[in-house]
Amino acid sequence: MNVLDMFRLDGQVALVTGGAGILGQSIVTGLAEAGAEVITASRSRASGEELANELEKEGLTIHVMTYDQSDHDSIVGLKKQIADEFGRLDIFVNNAVARPMKSYDGSIEDMDLSMRVNATGAIDILREMSALMAEGSGGSIINISSMMGMFGPDLSNYEGTDMGTPPPDYFFHKGGMINLTRYFVRVLAGQNIRVNTVSPGGIFTHQPERFLENYCKKVPLGKLADADDFKGVIVLLASDAGAYINGENILVDGGLWS
Ligand SMILES: NC(=O)c1ccc[n+]([C@@H]2O[C@H](COP(=O)([O-])OP(=O)(O)OC[C@H]3O[C@@H](n4cnc5c(N)ncnc54)[C@H](O)[C@@H]3O)[C@@H](O)[C@H]2O)c1
């Protein structure tokens, strides 16, 4: 097969959770540009529809569904809706994140809510969606972690800002996502389902000037990532171009941790 054809996703059904968020939007766009039927799902229908309307202007059609990752019945409902409307699922990008904890000393209630969505919910949706993929012809699961799932926080980045110390829950569940990928690789073996992790570095979202200064001088590429910088690696892992990549964690940080 021609190498560029190997990246095509025509006819593939893809689910991106949190697809209307900062990173999700570019993942949804990249998969749709590669030819997939893309479903974005999060709690808010309005944000999904706003994205769908934007992409429509570029000639891309996406499908909007809702679910709540803190609720098992809601996850099962999403699986059923995908099965009823598409009859299969080929690509699952496990991207949604809840950030109720804002700093080191956030409340236990916020920590519990984070775990419910980002730990329990992430495992729950992986079990449900991988079962749907296995009922078809398999496919590719991409878990979105973070460089913060691989390394401790570099607190010097926050010097001179009022951003505080990053919350501990994030380092726990993002780290867990990387080894959970390896778990699912083994458990799903023989079902033609590949499972990989992408660990992004910081994405530019107009952070405070002092943070940008502190952070960017440490990055060999001299800048934060644009969300679009992740389109390529997602399509690689989703497509036949990545057909033998399984159980990997790909750090995409501009060389920060090299
Ligand atoms: N933004 C960054 O700099 C960055 C860096 C590294 C990794 N990441 C990772 O990228 C992924 C996306 O992050 P983002 O920055 O785009 O986040 P975001 O906050 O912009 O989007 C998160 C999405 O998750 C959805 N969500 C939250 N709680 C939910 C729930 N209970 N049920 C269903 N959906 C829910 C939200 O509605 C939203 O669509 C996350 O896994 C995050 O850890 C982001």
Q: The domain spanning residue 218 has which CATH number?
A: 3.40.50.720
- With a 6 Å cutoff on the Cβ, whether 166 touches ligand 1 is no
Residues with pLDDT less than 50, the chain: none
Residue 258 lies in a domain: no
Q: What spacing in Å lies between the alpha carbon of 99 and ligand 1's midpoint? A: 8
Please report whether residue 60 resides in a domain. yes
The protein residue with its alpha carbon nearest to ligand 1, atom 7, reads 146
Ligand 1 atom closest to Cα of residue 177: 41
Total number of domains in the chain: 1
255 assigned to some structural domain:
no
Return d(Cα 222, Cα 160) in angstroms, integer.
Answer: 19
Does residue 256 fall inside a structural domain?
no
The Cα 46–Cα 92 span in angstroms is 22
Please indicate, yes or no, if residue 257 is contained in any of the structural domains: no
Ligand 1 close to Cβ of residue 202 (< 6 A): yes
Identify whether 36 is part of a domain.
Answer: yes
Nearest CA to ligand 1 atom 8: 146
Question: Does the CB atom of residue 75 touch ligand 1 within 6 A?
Answer: no
Q: Going by CA atoms, what residue is nearest to atom 34 of ligand 1?
A: 42
Residue 232 is assigned to a structural domain of this protein:
yes
Whether 123 is in a domain gets the answer yes
Q: Taking Cα atoms as reference points, which of 88, 90, 74 lies closest to residue 141? A: 90
216's CB contacts (< 8 A; 6+ apart) are 222, 223, 224
CA of 57 to the centre of ligand 1 (A): 24
Question: Does any ligand 1 atom lie closer than 6 A to the CB of residue 23?
Answer: yes
Beta-strand ranges (E) seen in 98-171 are 139-144
Cα dist. 84→57, 99, 157 in Å?
28, 31, 47
Residue 3 Cα to ligand 1 midpoint, Å, equals 32
CB-ligand 1 contact for 43 (6 Å cutoff): yes
Is residue 97 in contact with ligand 1, taking CB distance under 6 Å?
Answer: yes
How many angstroms is it from 241 CA to the middle of ligand 1?
26
Give the tens place of pLDDT for each residue, 31-85.
Answer: 999 999 999 999 999 999 999 999 999 999 999 999 999 999 999 999 999 999 9
Ligand 1 pocket, residue 30 CB under 6 Å? no
- Residue 21 is part of which domain span? 3-250
